[in-house]
């Protein structure tokens, strides 16, 4: 006669096996649905984003549960250019498992492989990442169900829980001032982001350089509605080698204007383990900074 412990062990084994079978069937079903409805899925995404999307193929991944979009491209707003806003070797999307059982897709993580991102600021000061293309009548597409909510709270073009970028390239052009900035070899990792929650990120990039010359680790506090970003709490560490902030200021005049007058940096800097804490309006710094043809003002 079996003991209660053995009976319980068998029940647990049977339960786990049944759960794995159900999971396997669910994943196979997702794979079938994705393969069969690729154009429909892309069409829904285009409608939600208001932009054309190109994907060579969609591969469902079983662990982690998600999908890999091969040769992914997101078109720019035609008002800015006829090129791609983002194109990448692949976009990986990891999906939360439990909502999948009830037919809901909740992204947990997104990974961009070798993306090229082109950011444009037009003569009116508008950015292409914040725009939505116009329809044939010249009006911006809107979701009537979310119209009032978006007007009250605002909604970003794309919300993601967490993001990982590997070997990325960012190209920025300011059509108003003629500034241009290029950052390559970008490796970026962030935790989940929400307006009312703190998040962390790590960044490595080559800014107007052949090799990575900027490394940043930071924690940023919550960003409530209608709050000046210069009063948001933050902390972290910055390292840089031969970083030409003069070129950065020239390429990003709006960024320079956004920084409080108490902070002014120009010239070429090498920064070693510069720790910062506070807010942009009240920031404490501790570390080593050396400059060539450089000057800065703090306080």
> How confident is the model over 168-193, as pLDDT tens digits?
999 998 888 788 889 999 999 988 76
Q: What is the tens place of the pLDDT at every residue in 91-143?
A: 988 877 665 555 556 678 889 999 999 998 888 888 888 766 554 444 555 44
Pairing assessment for the beta strands 163-174 and 107-113 based on DSSP bridges:
parallel
Half-sphere exposure of 31 (CA within 13 A, CB side): 12
More confident residue, 267 or 62: 267
Burial of 299 (0-12, 13-18, 19+ CB in 10 A): exposed
Q: What is the mean pLDDT of residues 218-238?
A: 80
Q: Contact at 8 Å (CB) between 202 and 219?
A: no
Among 203, 208, 291, CA closest to 247: 208
Strand 65-75 and strand 263-279: the pairing is unpaired
What pTM value is reported for the model? 0.73
How far apart CA 75 and CA 79 sit, in angstroms, is 11
Nearest CA to 271 out of 288, 293, 247, 294 is that of 288
Residue 78 predicted with pLDDT over 50: yes
């Amino acid at each position: 006669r079996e003991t209660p412990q053995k009976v319980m062990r068998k029940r647990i084994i049977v339960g786990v096996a049944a759960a794995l079978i159900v999971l396997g069937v669910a994943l196979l079903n997702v794979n079938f649905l994705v393969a069969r409805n690729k154009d429909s899925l892309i069409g829904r995404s285009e409608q939600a984003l208001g932009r054309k999307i190109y994907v060579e193929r969609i591969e469902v991944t079983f662990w982690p549960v998600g999908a890999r979009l091969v040769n992914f491209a997101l078109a720019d707003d035609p008002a800015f250019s006829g090129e791609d806003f983002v194109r990448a070797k692949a976009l990986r999307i990891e999906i939360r498992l439990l909502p999948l059982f009830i037919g809901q897709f909740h992204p947990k993580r997104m990974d961009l492989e070798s993306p090229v991102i082109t950011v444009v600021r037009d003569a009116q000061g508008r950015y292409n990442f914040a725009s939505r293309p116009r329809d044939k009548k010249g009006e911006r597409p809107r979701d009537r169900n979310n119209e009032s909510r978006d007007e009250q709270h605002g909604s970003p073009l794309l919300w993601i829980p967490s993001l990982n970028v590997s070997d990325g390239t960012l190209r920025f052009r300011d059509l108003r001032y003629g500034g241009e900035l290029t950052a390559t070899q970008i490796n970026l990792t962030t935790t989940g982001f929400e307006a009312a929650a703190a998040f962390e990120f790590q960044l490595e990039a080559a800014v107007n350089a052949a090799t990575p010359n900027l490394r940043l680790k930071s924690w940023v506090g919550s960003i409530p509605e209608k709050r000046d970003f210069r009063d948001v709490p933050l902390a972290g560490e910055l390292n840089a080698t031969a970083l030409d902030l003069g070129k950065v200021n020239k390429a990003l005049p709006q960024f320079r204007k956004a920084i409080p007058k108490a902070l002014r940096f120009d010239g070429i800097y090498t920064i070693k383990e510069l720790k910062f804490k506070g807010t942009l309006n009240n920031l404490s710094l501790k570390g080593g900074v050396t400059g060539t043809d450089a000057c800065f003002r703090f306080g």
